[in-house]
Amino acid sequence: MPASTVETVLTLHAALARKDMDTIRALVHPGIQVYQSSLLPWGGHYRGLAEFLEYTLKLGRSVEAVMETERLIDAGERVVAVGTVRGRVLGGGPSFALAAVQVWSFRDGRVAALETHLDTPAMLRALGSG
């Protein structure tokens, strides 16, 4: 297990990118809550590990993207990741680079909540719905 909350965020980012389910399950609290704007096709409020995985699948069916973290702010039981989400819309859609902030919250050493905030109007334009 990673030694700090910041290391956990970095490790989880890498595990999500390579779809390493064992590492994801080890780092995510079973009661995890995820929020992203419901204006996005994958957005909404998800609760529990199964819904967290559903969120990642919905996201992966719409876009291929990676968070390029430019700054991590260690706030104890929270870590704020500031950066750029870069990727492309699947099905021949455009590439995009959007400002993004993630707030990761921890309980019992595991990720208990994730809020992702990005430039939603720009993402909707890339998806062809804005």
How many C-beta atoms surround the C-beta of residue 115 within 10 A?
16
* Dist CA 126 CA 130 (whole Å): 8
**pLDDT greater than 90 at residue 46:** yes
Q: What is the DSSP string of 72-118?
A: EEE-SSEEEEEEEEEEEETTT--EEEEEEEEEEEEETTEEEEEEEEE
Q: What is the pLDDT of residue 17?
A: 83
How many Cβ atoms from other residues are within 10 Å of residue 80's Cβ?
15
What global pTM score does this model have? 0.90
* Percent over 70 (pLDDT), the chain: 98
Could you tell me which residues are beta bridge partners of residue 117? 101
In CATH terms, 5-127 corresponds, of 1.20.1050.140, 3.10.520.10, 3.10.450.50, 1.20.1440.230, to 3.10.450.50
pLDDT of residue 94: 95
Residue 43 to residues 27, 76, 130, Cα–Cα distance (Å):
22, 27, 15
Ranges 17-21, 22-26, 73-77, 121-125: which has the least confidence: 17-21
Assign 18 a pLDDT band (cuts: 50, 70, 90).
Answer: confident
Give phi and psi for 64, each to the nearest 5. -110, 115
The pLDDT score that the predictor gives to residue 129 is 80
Tokens of 103: 């707030």
